[in-house]
């Protein structure tokens, strides 16, 4: 039988994908997103086919509340995903979350409280009896706002099972429709995590009234393996993030989980009561949207995807060994267990050129999944014309880079007006920049550096006086060829906080300058916004995290 994400049932014939990229994923150092960037990612997650989007922690800050509310209104349509807001087990948190998700056709409140003795003693300063009383009370309070309530016993992996069973039973009795079991610190092994799920199914009397979900961190590199073992033992909702981003070593990666269930359907089908040979998908995910979603999240968060990353890494479908190359040329299945096209990686042909009109441009973008406002379309079209004049071939990947770069930037409080660089093997790299400040003043300055990019950054720092330390600089080509667009991602540190910037151009020096300004604008905005509350630790963190 098929079930909706908000209904309770002992089993279902598929996996519910709960995406927490915009909540837990954004807690990665430097991954702070503004409201428009969150909305852009949420729209893509809806195209990807996730069942639930945990859009944020509304009580954390006014910015987080606005983002969750906007996503609930625009993405949380009748046929769209459920929009979820996180809340600690307090009335203020829960009420704020309820207000934020109110515009959604399908809303969920996800509330939690720790159950491990180490968290009770050192973080909550509460007894087991107090938690036994708080959990059902707050679930019931959340239930007064929405029918769909999820409850998590934080640090379940290190909790006393017998005590956790009691908390879960009371939470379900109070109205929780989903019970989420988080391995908060990434401590468990697959066999242990599977045993936890099995124990819950066998020892919580009313567990058949709720869906069992899992959430886990990758501190030991075991998050995906833990989740798959949990699935075999009855978990039917997986809480994951695009590219596995998240606090510390990150979360279980959505793309790895989905493709494991897709490629190994014959192995997992019996655990869902299906014939092993069944070809019916185990999730609702449109796998062809995976690579596009991965790139979008990487670009907007500044979190670089390592080349050997499973599924979406640059080397995931590359073959250098002569033996491997020979085998793949004879038959792909010799060394490939999945087709690159299944995740949206295709050999893109030229679809547009410098003579293409605005209507053809808009049509192609819609085919690629972009539905832009007139203002954003105009910006992207002008940029496309500029790129088309410089490149012989404009591919779909180029178009995506253009759109992401033009429509997903931080507010341009400081705007780069002019860049001029002089460099060579027997000269001092020199850069001159002109920057328009937030008060409308044009400032021009120059600097000498060890190279053109260093010179530009030093010149910008002379104009925009915001102390920072550059801690990461990376350049990637969007497509092959000498005229390929280059994507630049940088990360800055300021007073212990990390801010990312991203830009794309056929000139990597120009892209480097704009990426730096992007990061500086984010830094400038964040400094002005102050601090927010961290959901797990309950203490101030960088704004927007």
The half-sphere exposure of 258 on its side-chain side, counting CA atoms within 13 A, is 30
- Read off the DSSP letter of residue 27: G
Q: How many CB atoms lie within 10 A of CB 279?
A: 9
Q: What pLDDT score does 86 carry?
A: 98
Residue 21 CB contacts under 8 Å (≥ 6 apart), including other chains: 41, 45, 241, 242, 245, 254, 297
The DSSP H or E segment spanning 473 is strand 469-477
Distance CA(49)–CA(283), nearest Å, equals 9
Distance CA(8)–CA(207), nearest Å, equals 9
Q: How many CB atoms lie within 10 A of CB 376?
A: 17
Q: How many CB atoms lie within 10 A of CB 480?
A: 10
Question: Are the CB atoms for 504 and 515 separated by under 8 Å?
Answer: no
Question: Are the CB atoms for 262 and 287 separated by under 8 Å?
Answer: yes
Q: What pLDDT score does 479 carry?
A: 67
Question: Are the CB atoms for 129 and 122 separated by under 8 Å?
Answer: no
For the chain, first and last CA: distance in Å?
39
pLDDT tens sequence across 277-325: 999 999 999 999 999 899 889 888 888 888 899 999 878 876 444 444 4
Question: Are the CB atoms for 242 and 256 separated by under 8 Å?
Answer: no
Distance CA(266)–CA(140), nearest Å, equals 40
Alpha-helix residue ranges (DSSP H) falling in 264-352: 265-268, 290-301, 322-330
Strand partners, 418: 434
Q: How far is CA 266 from CA 270, 288, 428, in A?
A: 8, 21, 63
Q: What pLDDT score does 371 carry?
A: 74
Per-residue pLDDT of the chain (545 residues; tens, 9 = 90+): 344 454 444 447 899 999 999 999 988 877 778 888 899 999 999 999 999 999 999 999 898 999 999 999 999 999 999 999 999 999 999 999 999 999 999 999 999 999 999 999 988 899 999 999 999 999 999 999 999 999 999 999 999 999 999 999 999 999 999 999 999 999 999 999 999 999 999 999 999 999 999 999 999 999 999 999 999 999 999 999 999 999 999 999 999 999 999 999 999 999 999 999 999 999 999 999 999 899 889 888 888 888 899 999 878 876 444 444 445 445 455 556 788 888 887 654 445 777 778 888 888 787 776 777 888 888 888 888 888 887 766 777 778 778 776 765 556 789 999 999 999 888 899 999 999 998 889 999 999 999 999 999 999 999 998 889 999 898 887 766 667 788 898 889 888 888 888 888 888 999 999 999 988 988 888 776 656 777 877 765 443 33
pLDDT tens sequence across 93-112: 999 999 999 999 999 999 99
Q: What pLDDT score does 254 carry?
A: 98
Long-range Cβ contacts of 445-453 (<8 Å, 24+ apart): 451/423, 452/421, 452/423, 452/509, 453/509, 453/512, 453/513
pLDDT tens sequence across 386-444: 888 877 667 777 787 787 767 655 567 899 999 999 998 888 999 999 999 988 899 99
Q: Which domains does the chain have, with CATH numbers?
A: 16-301 (3.20.20.70), 358-405 (no CATH), 415-532 (3.30.160.270)
Q: What pLDDT score does 530 carry?
A: 57
Strand partners, 472: 491
CA 223, 226, 230, 231 torsion-angle sign: positive
Q: What pLDDT score does 1 carry?
A: 34
Question: What's the predicted TM-score (pTM) here?
Answer: 0.82
pLDDT tens sequence across 132-158: 999 999 999 999 999 999 999 999 999
The DSSP H or E segment spanning 500 is strand 497-505
Question: Are the CB atoms for 248 and 186 separated by under 8 Å?
Answer: yes
């Amino acid at each position: 039988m098929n079930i909706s994400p908000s209904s309770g049932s002992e089993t279902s014939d598929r996996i519910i994908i709960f995406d927490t990229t915009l909540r837990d994923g954004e807690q990665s150092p430097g991954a702070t997103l503004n409201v428009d960037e969150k909305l852009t990612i949420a729209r893509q997650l809806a195209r990807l086919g996730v069942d639930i989007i945990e859009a944020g922690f509304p009580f954390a800050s006014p910015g987080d509340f606005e983002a969750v509310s906007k996503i609930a209104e625009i993405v949380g349509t009748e046929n769209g995903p459920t929009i979820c807001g996180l809340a600690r087990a307090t009335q203020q948190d829960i009420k704020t979350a309820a207000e934020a998700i109110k515009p959604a056709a399908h809303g969920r409140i996800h509330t939690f409280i720790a159950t491990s003795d180490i968290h009770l003693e050192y973080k909550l300063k509460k007894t087991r009896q107090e938690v036994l009383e708080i959990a059902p009370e707050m679930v019931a309070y959340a239930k007064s706002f929405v029918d769909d309530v999820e409850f998590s016993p934080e640090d379940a992996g290190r909790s006393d099972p017998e005590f956790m069973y009691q908390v879960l039973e009371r939470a379900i009795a109070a109205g929780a429709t989903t019970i989420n079991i988080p391995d908060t610190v990434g401590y468990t092994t697959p066999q242990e995590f599977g045993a936890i799920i099995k124990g819950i199914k066998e020892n919580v009397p009313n567990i058949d009234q709720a869906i069992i979900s899992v959430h886990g961190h990758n501190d030991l590199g075991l998050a995906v393996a833990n989740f798959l073992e949990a699935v075999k033992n009855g978990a039917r909702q997986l809480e994951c993030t695009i590219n596995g981003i998240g606090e510390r070593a990150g979360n279980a990666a959505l793309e790895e989980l989905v493709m494991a269930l897709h490629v190994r359907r014959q192995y997992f089908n019996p655990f869902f009561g299906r014939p092993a040979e069944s070809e019916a998908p185990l999730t609702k995910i449109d796998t062809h949207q995976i690579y596009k979603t991965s790139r979008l999240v990487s670009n907007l968060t500044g979190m670089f995807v390592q080349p050997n990353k499973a599924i979406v890494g640059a080397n995931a479908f590359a073959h250098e060994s002569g033996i491997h190359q020979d085998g793949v040329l004879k038959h792909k299945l010799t060394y490939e267990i999945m087709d690159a096209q299944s995740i949206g990686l295709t050999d893109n042909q030229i679809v547009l050129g410098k003579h293409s009109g605005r209507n053809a441009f808009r049509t192609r973008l819609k085919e690629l999944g972009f539905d832009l406002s007139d203002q954003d379309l105009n910006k992207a079209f002008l940029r496309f014309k500029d790129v088309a004049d410089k490149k012989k071939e404009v591919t779909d990947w180029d178009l995506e880079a253009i759109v992401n770069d033009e429509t997903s930037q931080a507010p341009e409080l400081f705007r780069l007006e002019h860049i001029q660089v002089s460099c060579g093997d027997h000269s001092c790299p020199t850069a001159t920049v002109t920057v328009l400040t937030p008060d409308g003043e044009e400032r021009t300055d120059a600097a000498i550096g060890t190279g053109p990019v260093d010179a530009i950054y030093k010149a910008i720092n002379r104009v925009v006086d915001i102390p920072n330390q550059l801690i990461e600089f990376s350049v990637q080509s969007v497509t092959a060829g000498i005229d390929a667009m280059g994507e630049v991602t940088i990360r800055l540190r300021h007073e212990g906080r990390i801010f990312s910037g991203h830009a794309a151009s056929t000139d990597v020096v120009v892209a480097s300058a704009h990426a730096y300004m992007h990061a500086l604008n984010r830094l400038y905005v964040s400094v002005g916004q102050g601090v927010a509350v961290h959901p797990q630790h309950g203490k101030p963190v960088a704004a927007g995290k």
